[in-house]
Amino acid sequence: MDVLKTNGVRRTNWGRWGESDELGALNLLTPERVLAALQIPKTGKTYSLSIPIQRSGVPNFEYRGTPMRLTTMNHTDEYMAQANGGVPGVGASEDQLIMPSHTSTHMDSLCHVYSDSTIYNGYPHDSVSSYGGAAKCSIDKVGGFAGRGVLIDVAAALGTNCLAPDHVITPDELRTALAAQKVELAAGDLVLIRTGWIEAFLANPGDTMPQPGLGLDAATFLAGHDVSLVGADNSAIEAIPFDQGVYLGGHIVLLVDHGIHLVENLNLQELSADKCYEFFLSIGALKITGGTASPVTPVAIG
């Protein structure tokens, strides 16, 4: 923790939006910024930034369990439709989802990680109970939001399809990529970092670790630009193993200290292919009462 304590940016956003705030840097998404973001798109092309939700072929950690779609009913149960007045040949198919909230493309709640036994804004870590879930900073407090999306295509800037598995992204690399893209960060931005990792994994599923991702300084760099959200096409935003050995250090800098929500396991391939670096972005988090995360399909318009 010494590494974090000496970086001078710890907990800058605690109290910034009031003692009872649970939204963090999403407070920066003012109506003015939303209206401005709506003016960005030029092509009207829509991008879905999520990966499939399925049992295999996608990144997951074993301790979380297998994401499953199970069939609740289908045509083999047509007798049920007929028992309710359906004529032969008419029926419905339904399913049941069983999935870890932190697998697939998902958004972390501000309650997801704690440090010094506190989550964002100083709420105690034990405000998450087993049955009730998170009493503070849960995902249902978020719902839907939108703003200016910015892609920082680190992989492209470094001339590769995929960063090396042990690559730790530095502030200089972020600056280099932004300069190459001719894009500047602004307060309230929804920033998406491309490492290329998930594209390589989906093409050839294998080990889920190590993974390239943000280093501690890069996380601090983004927080310093007062962004509203950070996303990436890997499983934890930050590099795994953790930069400088600080367990969940990138989460602590962004989520805990700055109240910046995170989106993981994004698919940024199509945005990259189109060199679409600035776009309108909307995310509709599910209102899971007490939830520590929500699966999402972020919608970008270029």
Measured CA to CA in angstroms, residue 134 lies from 66, 130, 201, 290 at distances of: 23, 9, 32, 4
Residue span binding a second copy (CB under 8 A) among the ranges 24-32, 159-167, 174-182, 197-205:
24-32
Contact between 275 and a second copy per CB under 8 A: no
Applying CB under 8 A, among 24, 59, 133, 212 the residue interacting with a second copy is 133
Select 239 or 301, whichever has its Cβ closest to a second copy: 301
Interaction between residue 273 and a second copy (CB under 8 A) = no
**Pairing state of beta strands 299-301 and 293-295?**
unpaired
H-helix or E-strand spanning residue 147? strand 144-153
- How many residues belong to the chain? 302
Whose Cβ is closer to a second copy: residue 5's or residue 182's?
Answer: 5
| H or E element, residue 69 | strand 68-73
Residues between 97 and 116 with contacts to a second copy, criterion CB under 8 A? 97-102, 104, 111-116
Pick one of 15, 18, 76, 205: the residue that binds a second copy (CB under 8 A): 76
Q: How many residues bind a second copy (CB under 8 A)?
A: 109
State which of residues 15, 18, 95, 161 lies at the interface with a second copy (CB under 8 A).
Answer: 95
- DSSP lists the bridge partners of residue 232 as 193
Q: Which two tokens stand for residue 246?
A: 């600080």
Q: Which stretch binds a second copy (CB under 8 A): 94-102, 152-160, 169-177, 187-195?
A: 94-102
Measured distance CA(216)–CA(246) in Å, rounded: 9
3-state class (DSSP) for residue 282? strand
Q: Give the interface segment with a second copy, choosing from 6-14, 160-168, 194-202, 291-299 (CB under 8 A).
A: 291-299
With binding defined as CB under 8 A, does residue 186 bind a second copy? Answer: no
Q: Among 123, 128, 161, which residue's Cα sits nearest to residue 24?
A: 123
Decide: is 3 part of the binding site for a second copy (CB under 8 A).
Answer: no
Burial label, 289 (beta-carbon count in 10 A; 0-12, 13-18, 19+): exposed
Instruction: Cis check for the bond before 67: say yes or no (omega within 30 of 0).
Output: no
Calpha distance 247→210 (Å, rounded): 14
Interface mask (CB under 8 A) for a second copy, residues 203-222, using x and -? --------------------
Q: Which stretch binds a second copy (CB under 8 A): 14-22, 196-204, 210-218, 241-249?
A: 241-249
97 is written with which tokens?
A: 């989802």
Rule CB under 8 A: say whether 301 interacts with a second copy.
yes
Contacts (CB under 8 A) with a second copy, residues 28-67: 29-35, 38-39, 41, 43-56, 62-66
User: Of residues 134, 156, 193, 214, which one binds a second copy by CB under 8 A?
Assistant: 134
The SS3 of residue 233 is coil
Residues within window 145-164 making contact with a second copy, judged by CB under 8 A:
145-146
Judge contact between 288 and 141, C-beta under 8 A: no
